[in-house]
Amino acid sequence: MRVTGKLRELERLVDAWKRRGETIGFVPTMGSLHEGHLSLVRHAKKENRKTVVSLFVNPLQFGPDEDYARYPRDPARDRALLKKEKADLVYAPSVKDFYPPGFQTAVAVKELSRSLCGARRPVHFAGVATVVLKLLNAVRPDAVYLGQKDYQQFRVVERMVRDLGVPVSVKMAPIVREKDGLAMSSRNIFLSPAERRQAPHLHRALEKGRALIESGVKNACDARKAALRILSRASGARLDYLEIVDAVTLRPVVKLTEGARILIAAAVFFGKTRLIDNVLAEVKK
């Protein structure tokens, strides 16, 4: 496994693979890897000859009051995990190399960035779209692998790729969860033992919403209320949002019409730690 922080070296390795006609799968991450990230690496490896993983805590996607400085970082452990998975190349640039002085470009995927997390984190998705486009330009993969965990991010990247004609296929892999349903996240290590015990209520609440939608409830407000009732059992949890939206446009849905594909997405604070999760539901015919 090669590890580099230098764009030139990354490009040289990629050029050599491309000359040999080898397909490339790419997994962008912010490091502090867990099984969710590793599942993406396994997907990429299964479908491509070469797999590239980036480790980069992207400052552009954090707001001024967010946790950029304390975001967990453990590059040595990440490299060991990726070696075990037999990734071919790890790209871990410094902020200074990735965004040299004078860098000032931003990519805006306007509408899809406005709802859900985007309404609370106004700079977040422009930061995501910008870093992902720059990484795609460097790695030039055949496919990029993203987790459903960050569903809105997946839709934003998919839209950007389509709108700007980036030659890559965007693939989404399912959410990897702990045994009690909590979605794996690099931020879970911030939870106190008491918060960790309450955190699975988030997934339970979303599942309640899905069960109601799939059992034929006609009004999304009823599903939302039932989900919120479950969430209210989590002592100390503070709701950021829980919304029921169209799974493609991410616009709010009220009437659940047959065949509609629905996303139930939420962000909840457990103490200082903000966790996100989502489930997809289909309104039965």
Interaction between residue 273 and ligand AMP (CB under 6 A): no
User: Is the separation of the CB atoms in 151 and 35 below 8 Å?
Assistant: no
User: What is the token pair recorded at 263?
Assistant: 């996303």
CB of 285 to ligand AMP, least distance (A): 29
Q: Give yes or no: 43 in active site.
A: no
Binding ligand AMP (rule: CB under 6 A), the pick from 10, 13, 30, 107 is 30
The H or E element containing residue 27 is strand 24-29
Judged by beta carbon, residue 176 or residue 220, the one nearer ligand AMP is 176
Instruction: Say if residue 233 is exposed, middle or buried (CB neighbours under 10 Å; 0-12, 13-18, 19+).
Output: exposed
CB of 143 to ligand AMP, least distance (A): 13
**Contacting range for ligand AMP; rule: CB under 6 A; set: 35-43, 80-88, 196-204, 222-230:** 35-43
User: Is the separation of the CB atoms in 124 and 130 below 8 Å?
Assistant: no
Give CA–CA dist 210/266, Å, rounded: 13
Interaction between residue 184 and ligand AMP (CB under 6 A): yes
Instruction: Write the DSSP string, 191-234.
Output: S-HHHHHHTTHHHHHHHHHHHHHHTT--BHHHHHHHHHHHHTTS
Residue type, 130: T
CB of 274 to ligand AMP, least distance (A): 13
**Contacting range for ligand AMP; rule: CB under 6 A; set: 2-10, 28-36, 41-49, 109-117:** 28-36
Give CA–CA dist 28/91, Å, rounded: 9
CB of 146 to ligand AMP, least distance (A): 4
Judged by beta carbon, residue 36 or residue 127, the one nearer ligand AMP is 36
Contact characters 149-168, ligand AMP, x per CB under 6 A: xx------------------
Q: 34, 37, 43, 203: which one is catalytic?
A: 37
Q: Report the half-sphere exposure of 248 (CA within 13 A, side-chain side).
A: 3
Binding ligand AMP (rule: CB under 6 A), the pick from 92, 183, 266, 276 is 183
Can you give the C-alpha Rg of the chain in angstroms? Answer: 19
Give CA–CA dist 159/193, Å, rounded: 39
Catalytic residues: 37
In the complex, the residues that contact ligand AMP under the rule CB under 6 A are 29-30, 36-37, 39-40, 146-147, 149-150, 173, 175-176, 183-186
